[in-house]
Amino acid sequence: MGARSLSACLPSSPDGAGDPSALMADLQATGIAIDDGSGAASAGRRGGAGPSDHRAVSLGNTTLMVPMRSSGQSPYRLRVLSGSPSLPAAPSRAWILRGDDLLAEVSLPPAARFYALSTADGIPYSKIALLHARRVLASTVLQSCVRYADRARACQFCAIGTSLKEGRTLARKTPAQLAEVAEAAVRLDGVEQLVLTTGTPATADRGAAHLAACAAAVKTAVPSLPIQVQCEPPDDFAWFARLRDAGADTLGMHLEAVEPAVRAAVMPGKAEVPVERYLDAFTAAVAVFGRGQVSTYLLAGLGDQPASLLAMAERLCALGVYPFLVPFTPIAGTPMAEHASPPSATMQSLYAEVARLLRVHGLSSAEMKAGCARCGACSALSSYEASPC
């Protein structure tokens, strides 16, 4: 078996066995299983408001968050050659296999060093913030949502309450806690950016006030650390300037689904905020943060037609908003746990077209100061941004 190069443009194939961008898209669509002979996948992160049941896999200089699957659920296998397959203390080497074919050698980023620390009152740093991908620190500052307890209104794909229920996080992270952990993560692990998201509280600011306080505390402790804050559109768009003045470098407001019927079905409570309200909020936010420094998630596979996602991506790009296209991944314990991820071929087509729109409108993930799009690990979109070979 011989490993394929991930640095050259190779002929594409539907299953991702050709060019590296296609392989990335296929890995995120189908997931990967640990090849340890037991048929059990390694432990991904369970629950939360961000990527769950995933683990970081680095292909050259690109780090992906790949869904972990049990044997038989994915055509891909991850054979760890050194270190622990579940929580390595140092970077591990591994192979990506499909059948008997070795597709690539990859590395598995090590566990964060700051995870070994606790606050003075005994709270593990890992309950306050987590390392995502390779150099990104992330925290959900309010680990609850006004809609989550009401399953008739909750987003059907969200597991924000799971990690809290299992005791792996805190209901509310304080500004001082986040500043302490951020300083340690930068010093010990070379963290390059911070993403602060929030569950939606029953307040008109939609969590922006607490995000602003947290961003200000972190900037005081680590002035050079770029920060993205993420929330739903607040009632008063003046919060955008307040967030910027507090230290936020970029802003995320996540649409996820775009067709009215799909939004009503999979995120009924959030769908009460119409798409046009989001578009008004994006316009106001771009005026504060600048073109390319505001982003939104578009989750492919929730039910939207590809044409609808592309039409919305074009509208967003025209506004100066980066449409971060991500394949839906089902999370255990949610109402959509058995809902399938979108086919890899669909994602590859969508990636190519959204990347074209980004080029037309002069937007780039590399120019975003902080945020999920800047990280890019939950999507293969950034690998499609450069003009095709």
The string of pLDDT tens digits covering residues 228-277 is 999 999 999 999 999 999 999 999 999 999 999 999 999 999 999 999 99
pLDDT for the residue numbered 40: 38
State the pLDDT at residue 16.
42
Tell me if 74 sits within 8 A of 82, measured CB to CB: no
- Give the model's pLDDT for residue 388: 55
Helix pair angle (239-246, 208-221), 10° resolution: 20
| pLDDT confidence of residue 357 | 98
Query: How do residues 327-364 score in pLDDT, each as one tens digit?
Result: 999 888 899 998 999 999 999 999 999 999 999 999 99
Residue 32, beta-bridge partner list? 68
Q: Is the pLDDT of residue 219 over 60?
A: yes
Dist. CA 344–CA 362, nearest whole Å: 26
**What was the pLDDT predicted at 3?**
36
Asked if residues 240 and 288 have their Cβ atoms less than 8 Å apart, the reply is: yes
pLDDT at 85 > cutoff 80: no
Q: Is-contact 51 328, C-beta < 8 A?
A: no
pLDDT at 50 over 90: no
Question: pLDDT class for 207, splitting at 50, 70, 90?
Answer: very high
For tokens 């003009």, what's the residue? 387
How far is the C-alpha of 84 from the C-alpha of 278, rounded, in Å?
Answer: 44
CATH number, domain 113-385: 3.20.20.70
In a 3-state reduction of DSSP, which class is residue 113?
A: helix
pLDDT at 8 over 60: no
How many other C-beta atoms lie within 10 A of the C-beta of residue 66?
28
Q: How far apart, in whole angstroms, are the C-alpha atoms of residue 199 and residue 350?
A: 29
Residue-level pLDDT at 9: 33
> Are 376 and 365 contacting, i.e. CB atoms less than 8 angstroms apart?
yes
d(CA 383, CA 24): 9
Question: How long, in residues, is the chain?
Answer: 389
Q: Are 152 and 270 in contact (CB under 8 A)?
A: no
Helices (H), the chain: 20-30, 162-165, 175-189, 208-221, 239-246, 260-266, 275-289, 306-319, 344-360, 372-375, 381-385
pTM: 0.88
Angle between helices 20-30 and 344-360 (to 10 degrees): 130
Which has the higher per-residue pLDDT, 19 or 262?
262
What's the confidence (pLDDT) of residue 17? 44
Q: Which among 177, 168, 195 is positioned nearest to 65, based on CA atoms?
A: 195
pLDDT of residue 91: 65
CB atoms near residue 308 (< 10 Å): 15
What's the mean per-residue pLDDT of the chain?
Answer: 88
pLDDT for the residue 83:
57
- The domain ranges of the chain are 20-108, 113-385
> Distance between terminal CA atoms of the chain?
26
Considering just the CA atoms, what is the radius of gyration of the chain in Å? Answer: 20
Instruction: Please say if the pLDDT value at position 148 is more than 90.
Output: no
Cα 366 from Cα 116, distance rounded (Å):
31
Span of 7-21, 28-42, 165-179, 276-290 with lowest mean pLDDT: 7-21
Count how many Cα atoms sit within 13 Å of the Cα of residue 55 in the half-sphere of its side chain.
23
CA quadruple 265, 270, 272, 277: dihedral, nearest 10? -120
What is the pLDDT at residue 241?
A: 98
Residue type, 9: C
Higher pLDDT, 58 or 179: 179
CA distances from 146 to 231, 267, 302, 353 (A): 13, 13, 22, 36
Contact (CB, 8 A) for 19 and 12: yes
pLDDT band at residue 59, thresholds of 50, 70 and 90? confident
Q: Which tokens sit at 267?
A: 């995120």
In this structure, are residues 257 and 218 in contact, taking their beta carbons and an 8 Å threshold? no
Would you state the pLDDT for residue 88?
45
pLDDT at 134: 85
Residues 259/287, Cβ–Cβ less than 8 Å: no
Cβ-based burial of 37 (10 A; exposed 0-12, middle 13-18, buried ≥19): exposed
